[in-house]
Amino acid sequence: MVKLTCASSFWALPASIRPLFRSPHLVLSCRRYASKDVSPGALTIGGHSYPIDSWTNVPPNILAQYGRKLHVQSDHPLSITRQLIASRFPSFRNHDSLPGVVTVEQNFDSLGFTPDHPGRNRTDTYYINQSTLLRTHTSAHEVDVFRANESDGYTISADVYRRDAVDKSHYPIFHQMEGALTWDRKAFASSEACIQQITKDFEALPKHPLVVEDPNPTYQPSNPLQTQYHSPEEAEILAKHLKRSLEDMVVTIFAEADKGLAAAGHRSKSEDEPLKVRWVEAFFPHTSPSWELEVWWQGDWLEVLGCGVIDQPLLIRAGQPDRIGWAFGLGLERLAMLLFGIPDIRLFWSTDKRFLSQFSEDGPIRRFQPFSKHPAAPRDVSFWLPKTDAPIITNTPATASTAASPAGGQPTEPSTSDQAPPAFHENDLMEIARNVAGDSVEDVTLIDDFTHPKKQRRSLCYRITYRSLERTLTTEEANRMHDHITRELIEKYRVEIR
């Protein structure tokens, strides 16, 4: 339950938070203040009260889901996946209950995000107020955990929040698992001795038969060595240890999936299509060099994690100047989808027994059996945008590994925060759709983008696919949701429906 306190009137609040008042999940308590300068209100999340301001953009549907902790819910597929991954890192200390409200400093500054990094934009991140937000990644806790220095290796599993695309592999709340391992140079007589130890640890890692595509050198100008801090030998052995550890983790996940299939008398997945993975170069402000690991899934490459050699200035800020090491962050949903054959990310939020009863922490992994298939109800919305010089942001490559994201992605793309706010940002439409239709919206895709040559007006057409996972939607229900979304688009963006 989210509690909202307010002063004066609804209209005194920033437009972005007004919809909060319509939520049945909010308790509203208003009090009149004599002074005009008092804070316009506060949000209570997880038992703490936070003042709201003009940056507040976290919507009620997100707050209503806050604190579900699916990653530790017993017999939940996300929890099973988390435990399976953790079992590959037996000496690591596991942190599973760090609170999701963090500071801008934790989420961005502590990791070396530049002030103009696009991930900081309100179009990408849910802000509670100007200095507080819902974490966009588990890396938000890296510096704190390094500073506490309780173990050489650790994992952090948690819910994370992003304004993002709506489709079968993206959801505004998902779960990440962070892992890091460091070696203390101080504990060795020389840097060679430290390298020897990492080499020994690497040789002790399980070997696997997997063929891995890894065409790039460990570092090159596009993915640089931290020359000021690391020798080439250190970076090479850290990269080898990191990649082998993560490949082993993926192989384990698939071996478990195969065992489950065999136990149920099915052909193993690897007999049909051998596991294919590849390393691609990436960029994160908090690692260098950096990579993403992709797995071939349903005819396409699916990115499952980002990783790299930890940025040394980050370790220095955390009071660990002598430690060197690696870190990764993976999407638990992505791996659970591969492990159990779960076709749609919305299913993880289901409270339907037909879903939850299929998974058990004790038994072998079993392939998910769809319990229903309901028809899709696609509807298009086509509109003219008002004439404007402000940026219009569409077709955000949510799944592209080079895309800017609230967790890294693109190093150079400038932020729009200092410029005029976008006249239209696709993520706003995604949020309207989730707010109005909840989990009955399966996908939102731009299908046409056209600028009238004479009038110089731009027209967009989005296909919104409605489909409930639990029942068949009636035509009237789909129409009602679609009309509601269309109305909000008109009100918010002054678009003209075509």
Q: Which residues are at the interface with ligand FA5 (CB under 6 A)?
A: 137, 139, 162, 164, 170-171, 174, 176, 178, 284, 286-287, 303-308, 327-331, 333-334, 405, 407-408
Least separation in angstroms between CB 315 and ligand FA5: 13
Residue with tokens 């890294």: 408
Smaller CB separation from ligand FA5, 13 or 140: 140
Segment contacting Mg ion (CB under 5 A): 2-10, 139-147, 271-279, 301-309? 301-309
Q: How many CB atoms lie within 10 A of CB 141?
A: 22
Least separation in angstroms between CB 292 and Mg ion: 6
Residue 307 binds: one of ligand FA5, Mg ion, none (C-beta under 5 to 8 A by kind): ligand FA5
- Cβ burial 62-99 (10 Å sphere, 16+ → b, else e): bbbbbeebbbbeeebbbbbbbebbbebbeebebbeeee
Smaller CB separation from ligand FA5, 59 or 308: 308
**Exposed, middle or buried by CB within 10 Å (0-12, 13-18, 19+), for 19?**
middle
Between CA 268 and CA 286 the distance in angstroms is 38
Smaller CB separation from ligand FA5, 55 or 171: 171
Least separation in angstroms between CB 332 and Mg ion: 14
Segment contacting Mg ion (CB under 5 A): 47-55, 100-108, 193-201, 303-311? 303-311
DSSP of 6-35, one letter per residue? Answer: EES-GGGS-GGGGGGGG-TTEEEEEE--S-
Site map (CB under 5 A) of Mg ion, residues 257-296, x = contact: ----------------------------------------
Residue 334 binds: one of Mg ion, ligand FA5, none (C-beta under 5 to 8 A by kind): ligand FA5
Residues 6+ apart with CB under 8 A from 234: 191, 194, 195, 198, 324
Smaller CB separation from ligand FA5, 58 or 304: 304
Say how far residue 277 (Cα) sits from the centre of its chain: 21
Residue type at 326?
W
Smaller CB separation from Mg ion, 191 or 216: 216
Q: Which residue is nearest to ligand FA5 (CB)?
A: 331
Least separation in angstroms between CB 163 and ligand FA5: 9
Smaller CB separation from ligand FA5, 127 or 284: 284
Please report how many Cα atoms fall inside a 13 Å half-sphere around the Cα of residue 479, on the Cβ side. 3
Segment contacting Mg ion (CB under 5 A): 109-117, 304-312, 375-383, 490-498? 304-312
Q: How many CB atoms lie within 10 A of CB 254?
A: 20
- Strands 300-310 and 323-331, by their bridges, are antiparallel
Residue 128 binds: one of ligand FA5, Mg ion, none (C-beta under 5 to 8 A by kind): none
**Exposed, middle or buried by CB within 10 Å (0-12, 13-18, 19+), for 17?**
buried
Between CA 43 and CA 350 the distance in angstroms is 26
Least separation in angstroms between CB 308 and Mg ion: 12
Least separation in angstroms between CB 451 and ligand FA5: 29
Least separation in angstroms between CB 349 and ligand FA5: 12
Q: Which residue is nearest to Mg ion (CB)?
A: 306
Smaller CB separation from Mg ion, 59 or 329: 329
Least separation in angstroms between CB 289 and ligand FA5: 11
Smaller CB separation from ligand FA5, 284 or 383: 284
Residue 162 binds: one of Mg ion, ligand FA5, none (C-beta under 5 to 8 A by kind): ligand FA5
- What value, to the nearest 5°, has the Cα angle with vertex 442 and ends 438 and 443? 115
Between CA 431 and CA 434 the distance in angstroms is 5
Smaller CB separation from ligand FA5, 162 or 458: 162
Residue 117 binds: one of ligand FA5, Mg ion, none (C-beta under 5 to 8 A by kind): none
Least separation in angstroms between CB 159 and Mg ion: 17
Between CA 299 and CA 91 the distance in angstroms is 36
Residue 289, preceding bond cis, omega within 30 degrees? Answer: yes
Smaller CB separation from Mg ion, 28 or 400: 400
DSSP of 167-191, one letter per residue? Answer: BTTB-SEEEEEEEEEEEEGGGSSSH
Q: Return the sign of the alpha-carbon dihedral for residues 99, 100, 101, 107.
A: positive
Least separation in angstroms between CB 405 and Mg ion: 6
Hey, which residues between 305 and 364 contact Mg ion (CB under 5 A)?
306
Binding site for Mg ion (CB under 5 A): 306
